[in-house]
Structure 1
Amino acid sequence: MSAETPSAPAVVTAIHLAPGTRLPTKPVQQVEAEAGRGLVGDRYHGTRHRHVTVQAQPDLDAAAADLGAPVPAGSTRRNVTISVGPVPTRPGTRVRVGDTLLEVVRLAAPCRLMDDHIGPGAMRALHARGGAVFRILESGTIRLGDAVEVLDTDG
């Protein structure tokens, strides 16, 4: 998720919420992001650090090419999909999504459930393409089409 590419800035292309463990994700047009709490309506709302997960569409496309089958954004169980990458994974990196401020907590590694949700080999195809887990530092609304900007960090 570079701040911008010569062709187009990164934007939010999909938002998915999982209302509960193992329940299917639901696509939404927008979601309220609460600082220190998470995305309203998502199963991780209220957890300490896993507030929102972000992935990049080019990573899904590359995984689909390796897998030989589509990798729909909602099937990965990530919350936000952006148009260009890479998604920053260095802890402490801050990202502005619309009027919401996020901070990287850690890399989001795909789990074995990907093979169940997408198909055999999906976990392997998504390796190093799973995006990142963020905490929400400033509340706001994340909407489809919102600009995504990696902010300068000290160190």
Structure 2
Amino acid sequence: MDTDDSAPTVVAIHVAKGRRLPTRSVPAVEAEAGAGLVGDRYHGSRHRHVTIQALPDLEAAAADLGRPVDPALTRRNLTLSGGAIPTRPGERIRIGDVELEVVRIAAPCRLLDDNLGPGAARALHARAGTVFRLLTSGTISVGDEVDLAP
């Protein structure tokens, strides 16, 4: 768990080539301003460039479900070690050299109950993370520090 003086970090990165295809874990990904994560199903979309979730939210959902929630199965791109991920449109965060802007809260996907079992979408309600657009380009890697209030 993060203490107040340590920034959250990227603990996992997942991309999927297609909407219904499984995600795969990668150590790093190229973020392309205005386009998304290279190799991800949403690359080239207008606004849905990156989805971000936090481990404490997944742990809370797992407690409600009574079973672990694998970050790979939530279909979110980035998983952070902790911190309060901004949810208000226009708020910004920074990961390394990459600046991101909140688009909206990410709604739990209906694939969650298929991937994680019955009740998963309900357990992840209000814990499913945030959708961001990319304002700058760069590489995002596991271990990168995240500034949630740049």
Normalised to the residue count of structure 2, the TM-score between the two structures is: 0.96
For residues 9 and 136 of structure 1, the distance between their equivalents in structure 2, rounded to whole angstroms, comes to 20
**Secondary structure of 1:74's aligned partner:** helix
Q: CA deviation at 1:7?
A: 5.5
Q: Aligned runs of 1:16-27 on 2, under 5 Å?
A: 16-27=14-25
Partner of 2:139: 141
What whole-Å deviation, never above 9, does each CA across 1:46-80 have from its counterpart, x for those lacking one? 00000000000000000001001110001000000
SS in 2 for 1:62: helix
Distance, in Å, in 2 between the alignment partners of 1:6 and 1:50 is 30
Give the gaps of 5 or more residues in structure 1. Answer: none
Helix, strand or coil for the counterpart of 1:106? strand
User: In the alignment, does 2:128 pair up with 1:130?
Assistant: yes
Matched residue, 1:115:
113
RMSD of Structure 2 on Structure 1 (CA): 1.1
Following superposition, the deviation at residue 86 of structure 1 comes to 1.8
- Determine the C-alpha separation between the residues in 1 that align with 2:41 and 2:21: 9
Partner of 2:135, secondary structure, is strand
Question: Alpha-carbon deviation of 1:8?
Answer: 2.7
CA contact (8 A) 2:7 2:145 kept: yes
Distance 2:19 2:126 in 1: 23
Number of residue pairs matched by the alignment: 149
Percent identity between the two aligned chains = 66
Unpaired runs of 5+ in structure 2? none
* Corresponding position of 2:100: 102
- Paired residue secondary structure (1:43): coil
Structure 1 residue 17 displacement after superposition: 0.1
Could you tell me how far 1:112 is from its partner in structure 2? 2.0
User: Residues 84 and 148 of structure 2 are in contact (CA less than 8 Å); yes or no, is this contact kept in structure 1?
Assistant: no
TM-score, structure 1 as length reference = 0.93
Name the SS for the 1:114 alignment partner: helix
Cα offsets for 1:66-105 (capped at 9, x unmatched): 0011100010000000001221101101100111100000
* 1:151 alignment partner in structure 2: 149
Matched residue of 2:13: which SS? strand
